[in-house]
Amino acid sequence: MSGFLEELLGEKLVTGGGEEVDVHSLSARGISLLGLYFGCSLSAPCAQLSASLAAFYGRLRGDAAAGPGAGAGPGPGAGAAAEPEPRRRLEIVFVSSDQDQRQWQDFVRDMPWLALPYKEKHRKLKLWNKYRISNIPSLIFLDATTGKVVCRNGLLVIRDDPEGLEFPWGPKPFREVIAGPLLRNNGQSLESSSLEGSHVGVYFSAHWCPPCRSLTRVLVESYRKIKEAGQKFEIIFVSADRSEDSFKQYFSEMPWLAVPYTDEARRSRLNRLYGIQGIPTLIVLDPQGEVITRQGRVEVLNDEDCREFPWHPKPVLELSDSNAVQLNEGPCLVLFVDSEDDGESEAAKQLIQPIAEKIIAKYKAKEEEAPLLFFVAGEDDMTDSLRDYTNLPEAAPLLTILDMSARAKYVMDVEEITPAIVEAFVNDFLAEKLKPEPI
């Protein structure tokens, strides 16, 4: 299935030494796991990661370190003859945010793995969007044959499993990962099997983190309300505290369960399972352990009375202060409407909903995340500032696709918006037929 890899990475990659490598040769060499390393030479944390990643890479590929150079040239790939043992066919590709080619070259030179060519800026952005990268350094692992994300949080893997013992770190069911005793803040301990039949909120949080403390206060209320409404619901606190004392102090405010602080391995596995990079994060699971929403925090803040619990994601969101952060996650279709006109935002929602549902379903079938989020934006300060930020025409309704991370916008400035127009717009966007304007 080199098709996937080529679609993802293009035809050529380069080695640190500067030789080109055909992407299709990767699958020929039996690469089964692909790590995408998002970084930048200017970032000291990236430099630090590079060092530990190099050690990890060397260990995992076997000490003979079959380089990517596939034999040719003086690069680290000279030892291609030493075929790594089958289960450890890992390749890493560095995806750089560098703005200066010389710095990039200097940085890449020491890398034993491959890199996306410097000039492939566009592809870099696409990768950022596709995998919703929000931070550097980031390391994600993909199944090289199917393209499925194996682990979003490669950094944790490197830290927690430096020997690669748990390779290939594929996702496991929640039930399996959570298995073990859970605590209440009164010291009582119960088995994770008691979660059977409940919706579960997995709450990643820490006391040192001010936004977490804020959310906890809200969440305590939400938890109570959901329970009072007769729902079977439990929250499990997965601490990111820096000491057990902090954990205890923080947990004492929480009426729900926690993974014991001492069970670091389980906490880390949960982090990895959901690719947690920032806190607070609240992930809501259905009783089968399947993710309903990763945006539990937004939902809790938005829906104080928890009327919409368990917060199945809506195909179309109304843009609000609290969900606007999602605008940064990747391309978003935003339909601006004149909310003074009663019913127009509702009408707008109904207009794009079928299209959104179609796209979401299509990508879900491929087990991929939808490439677009869908928003309807009324008129408020938030919207005004978004318009300001993106410098949009002062018109409503106005159909746009905003891609914050690519700093691109696509504006459909027409007077009348019909489903056909929206659909064509979206399809053109996905087919990359639209011409982006800079934000």
Partner 1 sequence: MAETKIIYHMDEEETPYLVKLPVAPERVTLADFKNVLSNRPVHAYKFFFKSMDQDFGVVKEEISADNARLPCFNGRVVSWLVLAEGAHSDAGSQATDGHGDLPPPLERMGGIGDSRPPSFHPNVASSRDGMDNETGTESMVSHRRERARRRNRDEAARANGHPRGGRRRDLGLPPDSASTALSSELESSSFVDSDEEDNTSRLSSSTEQSTSSRLIRKHKRRRRKQRLRQADRASSFSSITDSTMSLNIITVTLNMERHHFLGISIVGQSNDRGDGGIYIGSIMRGGAVAADGRIEPGDMLLQVNDVNFENMSNDDAVRVLREIVSQTGPISLTVAKCWDPTPRSYFTVPRADPVRPIDPAAWLSHTAALTGALPRYELEEAPLTVKSDMAAVVRVMQLPDSGLEIRDRMWLKITIANAVIGADVVDWLYTRVEGFKERREARKYASSMLKRGFLRHTVNKVTFSEQCYYVFGDLCSSEWGLGGGALGRPAPAALTHCPLPPDLEALNLNSGSSGASDQDTLAPLPHPAPWPLGQGYPYQYPGPPPCFPPAYQDPGFSYGSGSAGSQQSEGSRSSGSARSAGGSSRRALGREQERRGPGAGGSGSESDHTAPSGAGGSGWRERPASQLSRGGSPHSQASAAAPGLPPLHPLTKAYSVVGGPPGGPPVRELAAVPPELTGSRQSFQKAMGNPCEFFVDIM
Instruction: Report the site for partner 1 in 377-396 (rule: CB under 8 A).
Output: 379-382, 384-386, 388-390, 393-396
Instruction: Compute the distance between CA of residue 140 and CA of residue 432 in angstroms, rounded to an integer.
Output: 25
Would you say 263 or 329 has its CB closer to partner 1?
A: 329
How near is the Cβ of 306 to partner 1 at its closest, in Å? Answer: 17
**Residues from 147 through 186 that contact partner 1 (CB under 8 A):** 155
Which one of 215, 236, 258, 270 is in contact with partner 1 (CB under 8 A)?
215
Torsional class of 117: left (φ above 0), alpha (ψ -120 to 50), beta (otherwise): beta
How near is the Cβ of 266 to partner 1 at its closest, in Å? Answer: 16
How near is the Cβ of 208 to partner 1 at its closest, in Å? Answer: 5
- In three-state secondary structure terms, 414 is coil
Would you say 159 or 232 has its CB closer to partner 1?
A: 159
E strand segments, 76-229: 90-96, 114-115, 138-143, 149-151, 181-183, 189-191, 199-205
Residue 144 as a binder of partner 1 (CB under 8 A): the answer is no
- Binding mask 412-431 vs partner 1 (x if CB under 8 A, - otherwise)? -xxxxxxxx-----------
Which one of 31, 90, 108, 136 is in contact with partner 1 (CB under 8 A)?
136
8 A C-beta contact, residue 141 and residue 169: yes
Task: List the Cα angle 17/21/24 in 5-degree steps.
Answer: 160
Would you say 202 or 337 has its CB closer to partner 1?
A: 337
Would you say 170 or 419 has its CB closer to partner 1?
A: 419
Residue 232 as a binder of partner 1 (CB under 8 A): the answer is no
Number of chain residues interacting with partner 1 (CB under 8 A): 82
How near is the Cβ of 315 to partner 1 at its closest, in Å? Answer: 15
CA-nearest of 425, 428, 431 to 413 is 425
E strand segments, 57-195: 90-96, 114-115, 138-143, 149-151, 181-183, 189-191
- Binding mask 335-354 vs partner 1 (x if CB under 8 A, - otherwise)? x-xx-xxxxx-xxx-xx--x
Residue 290 as a binder of partner 1 (CB under 8 A): the answer is no
Position 383, amino acid: T
Position 188, amino acid: Q
Long-range contacts formed by 154-158: CB under 8 A, 24+ apart = 154/35, 154/37, 155/49, 156/268, 156/271, 156/272, 157/272, 158/49, 158/52, 158/53, 158/56
Would you say 89 or 207 has its CB closer to partner 1?
A: 207
Beta bridge partners of 374: 333
Residue 325 as a binder of partner 1 (CB under 8 A): the answer is yes
Residue 208 as a binder of partner 1 (CB under 8 A): the answer is yes
How near is the Cβ of 393 to partner 1 at its closest, in Å? Answer: 5
Instruction: Give the tokens for residue 85.
Output: 């043992």
The residue assigned the tokens 């293009």 is 10
Would you say 36 or 65 has its CB closer to partner 1?
A: 36
Task: Lay out the sheet containing 398-403: strands in order across.
Answer: 317-318, 373-377, 332-336, 398-403, 408-412, 437-438
Instruction: Compute the distance between CA of residue 332 and CA of residue 410 in angstroms, rounded to an integer.
Output: 10
**Span of 19-27, 116-124, 189-197, 321-329 interacting with partner 1 by CB under 8 A:** 321-329
Cα atoms found within 13 Å of the Cα of residue 359, Cβ hemisphere only: 23
**Span of 1-9, 22-30, 72-80, 128-136 interacting with partner 1 by CB under 8 A:** 128-136
Would you say 206 or 401 has its CB closer to partner 1?
A: 206
| Sign of the torsion formed by the C-alpha atoms of 307, 308, 311 and 313 | negative
**Residues from 82 through 101 that contact partner 1 (CB under 8 A):** 97
Residues in contact with 154: Cβ distance below 8 Å, sequence separation at least 6, in sequence order = 35, 37, 138, 139, 140, 141
Position 238, amino acid: V
Which one of 90, 240, 317, 333 is in contact with partner 1 (CB under 8 A)?
240
Residue 30 as a binder of partner 1 (CB under 8 A): the answer is no
Residue 206 as a binder of partner 1 (CB under 8 A): the answer is yes
How near is the Cβ of 29 to partner 1 at its closest, in Å? Answer: 32
Would you say 145 or 322 has its CB closer to partner 1?
A: 322
Residue 211 as a binder of partner 1 (CB under 8 A): the answer is yes
Which one of 207, 266, 269, 272 is in contact with partner 1 (CB under 8 A)?
207
